[in-house]
Structure formats: C-alpha cells, structure tokens
C-alpha cells in the first residue's frame, strides 16, 4: 500500500512546483521525499529533465509553417 501513498503524493508534485497546492500537501511531500528513496529518484530525475529542457534553444519554426500562419492571419 506504500506505492499508493507514493503515487498520491507524486500526483500533487506538479501542483507544488507550480504553487497551486496547499502548503500542507507540499510539506507532506517534502517529508515523504526525505524518507523515500524511490520517490526522491523520480523527483530528482524530473528536476533534471526540466533543467535540461529549459537550457535547450527554442525549436526552429519551419519557414513554410511561418508563411502559412502569416497568410491565414
């Protein structure tokens, strides 16, 4: 049943990151991460993925798509 508790808390992770969750939920998540290595790995991996994504250059917008957009406007 521990996996169900982990899943519930991790479901609230995005809300905590975006500042949309209650302080109680975020504090509970932090306490859980201090004790649960599996969840800590998931969260650390997610943080690393976000950091890598933010450091990527923006994708190139294909010229043809830009032209179609301008024509439709």
* CB distance 46 to 13 below 8 Å: yes
The predicted pLDDT at position 21 comes to 87
Low-confidence ranges of the chain (pLDDT < 70): 1-2
The predicted pLDDT at position 58 comes to 85
The predicted pLDDT at position 4 comes to 80
The predicted pLDDT at position 37 comes to 92
The predicted pLDDT at position 12 comes to 83
Supply the pTM of this predicted model: 0.62
Cβ neighbours around 28 below 10 Å, total: 17
22 Cβ contact partners less than 8 Å away, ≥ 6 residues apart: none
């Amino acid at each position: 049943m521990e996996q169900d508790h982990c899943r519930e808390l991790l479901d609230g992770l995005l809300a905590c990151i975006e500042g949309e969750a209650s302080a109680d939920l975020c504090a509970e998540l932090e306490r859980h991460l201090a004790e649960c290595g599996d969840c800590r790995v998931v969260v650390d991996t997610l943080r690393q993925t976000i950091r890598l994504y933010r450091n990527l250059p923006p994708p190139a917008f294909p010229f043809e798509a830009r032209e179609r957009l301008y024509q439709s406007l």
